[in-house]
A and B are shown apart, each in its own frame.
Chain A
Amino acid sequence: MTEVNIENLTKIYGHAVKAVDGISMRIANGEFISLLGPSGCGKTTTLKMIAGFEEVTAGAIRFDGQDVAHTPAEKRDIGMVFQNYALFPHMTVAQNLAFGLEMRKIAKPEMQGRIAKVLEMVQLTGYDGRYPNQLSGGQQQRVALARALVIEPRILLLDEPLANLDAKLREEMRVFIRELQKRVGITTVYVTHDQSEAMSMSDRVVVMFGGRIAQIGAPDDIYDRPTSMEVAQFVGQVNVIRGQALEAAGAGRLHVSTVLGQVDVEASESFRPGTALTLTLRPEALTLAPGGGVGAQGQVIGRYYSGALIDYTVSLASGENLHVQTFPNIRFVEGDAVSVAAPAQAFWLMGPAQ
């Protein structure tokens, strides 16, 4: 069980390409943390530096206080799951699992016990003798997970492990990995570009752009209280509306006038009345009612049905377009007059308008 501290970690390729630009974070013992960002944001490079596959240009990586930034990968005692699983094709499942134990000079009887235990954990008991190419993608994924866990590493690193699975299996594996991680209680770093994966699995999410950390926080923090427009847009759909500051509404709150009416929102700084502001609204926080009801009036101009939800595009009388996501119990068609409303807590004040 290990606490990981990353301090000013930097990776520069060649002379000037900063893949990772001085990031710091503390990962608590047993915590599941996701590095989330678009490709090229430095998340995989960060993971590789933690694993020891990429040399560190500057900064420290501490496992329980001990700096491992320049320790070779094989001495770091990590378990890693690769995007393509990286199972040894010439070895059976049991031999794949035994490899790390052999490197640790574990005695045969204990080895067999641990392999049996971990196979049961990933629900692959009886698959010992299979070769990787005799397994389905999901099974290979679970063998890769078992191989990383059987050595009882200090930390578990996963590099986009679900990227090669089909959508349904991916959902199942999210739950599976998270449950397993909780049961084992291992400190875990998970790299993904899929925001819903990061949200649903992690204790905390680290959003990265251009080699820097944009925001660290619990999934709902990131989703509901993004610190920048980039983060807000990366972790989900978002409506951006303009507002105008009115007077303060008590400590840390502000009255704002918007196209959806006057609301009072959380405000970390104070704004002079009259300041133009940018606010965000998640599409699923908005509600639709037949025209003439409470809220802003508008017309449905787009409708996308996806089974569980319907996405509407509503053109407001004031000229702005809003995305609204509703359950399919209330249905409108294109051209319908609707009224759009949102509860006060759905508004998030991003800052002064640019």
Chain B
Amino acid sequence: MTATSRSSGKLLLIAPAAVLLGVFLVLPYLNIIVMSFRVPGQGTPYGEGFTLGNYARFFADPFYLQQVANTLGIGLLVTSLSLAIGFPVAWQLARGDMRFRGLAYGLVLSPLLVGIVIRSYGWTILLGNNGLINRSLNSLGVIEGPLPLMYNTLGIVIALVHVFLPFMILPVMAAIQSVDPSLEAAARSLGASRATAFRRIILPLCMPGIQAGCILVFVLSLSAYVTPSLIGGLRVKTMAVTVVDALIDTFQWPWGSALALMLAATGAICVLIFARLTRMTWKAPRP
């Protein structure tokens, strides 16, 4: 086979994905970028001509900057909690007793099997002022009056961690599985305590999985709409909720597009910074 025919074969293989991405991702994105520079319309989604006004409005109003900050805060909190909760689970799945691995794996995946709307409604039943948690605590006499679990950041974070935990656990588990257990034994034979062996050997080798899990959960949290809108209600709004409000409820297409792009941009910047900070300190070259 000649080099050209081989490379054209490869092109053919990626063609379906390329077409799909081009038509349904790149084109809409370009459309949104163009839209974000359009003039807001009167009675129509957008008017004639182009302007920088939408972006000026965004940067001039501390309300929106604050909202971006809140959204990023929720993303960071959800990501770190997912890592803290998910790592031990991933470890157990990768290294633990074989007997319950199938069951545990199923439990980890189970949140993904139920639609996100249903799961979020479930949380409203649990977290609401008249919800299961508050009622139980009330009837047990532990608290007087409901704990504020819903319509605030806490509730959104709890529900998002539940929803996105599998996206942390699965890549981290795969990374842990790829680390040879005898490396830990080797480190200990050389005089390292369990903690040191973990920090110096296991953790650096799991880093690619941790990185992937964190980026997934962070990005998903930033763009989450259903859960924040159901649990945050009207009181706490994340950027994604505001974007949908602008686009669908108030028909401000240019303004909504600008907001959506600012959300995407801040997310991208955060991911870049994160990748830089956690960049793998080792780059074992291929032999």
In this assembly, does B279 line the interface, its C-beta being within 8 Å of a C-beta of chain A?
Answer: no
Most buried by B among A75, A78, A86: A86
Q: Are A74 and B188 in contact (CB under 8 A)?
A: yes
CB of B169, distance to nearest CB on chain A (Å): 23
A82-B284 in contact given A90-B205, A99-B192, A103-B192 (Cβ < 8 Å): no
A80 touches B284 (CB 8 A): no
Are the CB atoms of B182 and A86 closer together than 8 Å?
yes
Tell whether, in the assembled complex, residue B190 and residue A147 are in contact, meaning their CB atoms are under 8 Å apart.
Answer: yes
Residues of chain A with a CB closer than 8 A to B180's CB: 84, 86
Q: How far is the CA of A73 from the CA of B193 in the complex (A)?
A: 9
- Any chain B CB within 8 A of the CB of A125? no
B-side interface size class: 20 to 34
Interface residue stretch chosen among B101-109, B147-155, B196-204, B251-259: B196-204
Smallest Cβ distance from B197 to chain A, in angstroms? 8
Given A74-B192, A89-B205, A133-B284, 4 more contacts at CB 8 Å?
A82-B182, A86-B185, A88-B201, A104-B191
A72 to B190, CA, bound (A): 12
Binary contact track A69-96/B, C-beta < 8 Å → 1, others 0: 0001111011110111011111100000
Q: Which of B191, B204, B280, B281 contacts A100 (CB 8 A)?
A: B191
Beta-carbon contacts under 8 Å, B195-229 to A: 196, 200-201, 204-205
Q: Which of B186, B281, B286 contacts A86 (CB 8 A)?
A: B186
Expressed in whole angstroms, the Cα–Cα distance for A131 and B285 within the complex equals 8
Cβ-Cβ contact count across A and B, 8 Å cutoff: 77
CB-nearest residue of chain B to A131? B284
Please indicate the chain B residues that have their CB under 8 angstroms from the CB of A84 in the complex. 180, 182
**Hey, which bits of chain B sit against chain A, CB under 8 A?**
180, 182-183, 185-193, 196, 200-201, 204-205, 280-282, 284-287
Residues of A contacting B192 with CB < 8 Å?
74, 99, 103
Contact present for A88 and B191 (CB under 8 Å)? no
Q: Is A51 an interface residue (CB 8 A)?
A: yes
Q: Do B200 and A99 touch across chains, with their CB atoms under 8 A apart? A: yes
Q: Return the contact of B190 from the options A83, A103, A134, A157 (Cβ within 8 A).
A: A103
A-B contact pairs, 22 of them (CB 8 A): A51-B189, A53-B189, A72-B188, A72-B193, A73-B188, A74-B190, A74-B191, A74-B193, A78-B189, A79-B189, A80-B186, A86-B185, A87-B186, A88-B187, A88-B201, A90-B280, A90-B284, A99-B187, A99-B192, A99-B200, A131-B282, A134-B287
Please pick, from A83, A86, A90, the residue contacting B282 in the complex, using a CB distance under 8 A.
A90
> Judging by beta carbons under 8 Å apart, are A90 and B191 in contact?
no
Q: What's the least CB distance linking A92 to chain B, in Å?
A: 9
Q: Which residue of B lies closest to A148 (CB)?
A: B189
Q: A151 at interface (Cβ–Cβ under 8 A)?
A: yes
CB distance from A82 to the nearest CB of B (A): 5
With a cutoff of 8 Å between Cβ atoms, the chain B residues found around residue A131 in the complex are: 282, 284-285
B196, A53: Cβ atoms closer than 8 Å? no
Instruction: Return the chain A residue nearest B190 by Cβ.
Output: A100
Query: When the two chains form the complex, which single residue of A53, A100, A133, A148 contacts B287, counting CB atoms closer than 8 Å?
Result: A133
List of B residues within 8 angstroms of A78 by Cβ: 189
